[in-house]
Amino acid sequence: MGLFSKTKPVDDSRSYPKKLSPAFSGALWTFSFWIANGTAGHRLLEGIDYRPELLASPSLMEQVYAIFANVIEFSGDGVPTNAKYAEYRAAQYIRSYCEPTYMVDPPFEDWEVELFGPPPREDSKPWPSRL
């Protein structure tokens, strides 16, 4: 299965965007679990309880997920090839936020920390009629 798998068309036979691969879904929920559990970037963040900072600063959480999403790469069939590195880069950001003397090495490139706009306020795909 590729990074994107085609979803079934709705009754009017329109096609909608493809879904991310199960492998990426697994990488995302695992990263999310580690962030919430306080164990992301295990050795790099050892002894640093960053969770209160994440709760106090939503922009920190936003940037951490942006870095993870910008850095992660996929094979041709949608399997993440560098999920641990993407987690490490996100953990470097957390550490630099919590410990201002920490030097990120290598320094972040602009594309790694870029924040993209939100999705449209309304979905283009209709919700199920029973909702």
- The distance from CA 9 to its chain's CA centroid, rounded to whole angstroms, is 27
pLDDT tens profile 64-102: 999 999 999 999 889 999 999 999 999 999 999 999 999
- 5 falls within a domain: no
- 32 falls within a domain: yes
Of the candidates 13, 38, 23, the one whose C-alpha atom is nearest the C-alpha of residue 78 is 23
- 99 falls within a domain: yes
Number of domains into which the chain is organized: 1
- 95 falls within a domain: yes
Q: How many CB atoms lie within 10 A of CB 88?
A: 18
- 4 falls within a domain: no
Quote the pTM value: 0.84
**What residue numbers bound the domain in which 107 lies?**
19-113
* Contact status, residue 57 vs residue 4, Cβ threshold 8 Å: no
- 129 falls within a domain: no
d(CA 65, CA 82): 15
Query: Average of pLDDT values for 28-33?
Result: 96
- 90 falls within a domain: yes
Instruction: Determine the pLDDT at residue 10.
Output: 45
pLDDT tens profile 4-28: 444 444 444 566 667 889 999 999 9
d(CA 85, CA 13): 40
- 86 falls within a domain: yes
The residue type at 28: L
Pull the structure tokens for residue 89: 């880069």
The residue type at 97: Y
